Amino acid sequence: MLKQSQLNLCNFTTNIIAMLIREIQQKDNESIAKVIRAIFHELNAPKVGTAYADPILDSLYEVYQAPRSVYYVVEKDGEVVGGCGVAPLENGVDSVCELQKMYFAPEIRGTGYAERIIKQCLEFAKNQDFELCYLETLSFMTAAQKLYARLGFEPIDGPMGNTGHSSCEIWMTKNIV
């Protein structure tokens, strides 16, 4: 006969969710684009001047094959449920990268995977000899801003580079050397 503590442990272990962070694969293009677009609809976020309207959104695997670039996805039970990447800042100096397209489906928010994936991106950026990481976000995405601040990103007064994301009103940077 099992004790109550053993029963609780059994119940707990059956509820463990299998999630992993891995580099994007070509087969993930449609899934991650769908996740990103769904979040814009969920939050009623602007579609113009944001990642939603990026012409590259449906081909992220190909985009992140560029030098000094990587995109990681979070896979839950074999399904892509979020992701984040880092790449050289477009029209920026060689020492600056951009944290890009960090979006997570509602069911994995608050699980710590956003922090883990950002740290993995920053480690990649450091290994690629970037010195500063830039990001931009929307003002109402306060949970993301709190996470960025906790990880050492600080607000700056205006945008850097030429990302095409004119609807983003929050810009932050972090020294990564």
- Residue ranges in the chain assigned as alpha helix (H): 4-14, 29-42, 60-63, 113-127, 142-150
Give me the average pLDDT of each 10-residue run along the chain (177 residues).
Answer: 45 59 97 94 82 87 98 96 96 95 93 95 98 93 94 96 80 96
Rounded-to-integer distance, Cα 34 and Cα 141, Å: 19
Check: CB of residue 115 under 8 Å from CB of residue 147: yes
What per-residue confidence (pLDDT) applies to 10?
Answer: 42
Helix axes 142-150, 113-127, angle to 10 degrees: 50
pLDDT of residue 47: 83
pLDDT, residue 16, reads 56
CA distance 96 to 174: 10
Within 8 A by CB and 6+ apart from 20, the residues are: 74, 75
Element housing 72 (H / E)? strand 70-76
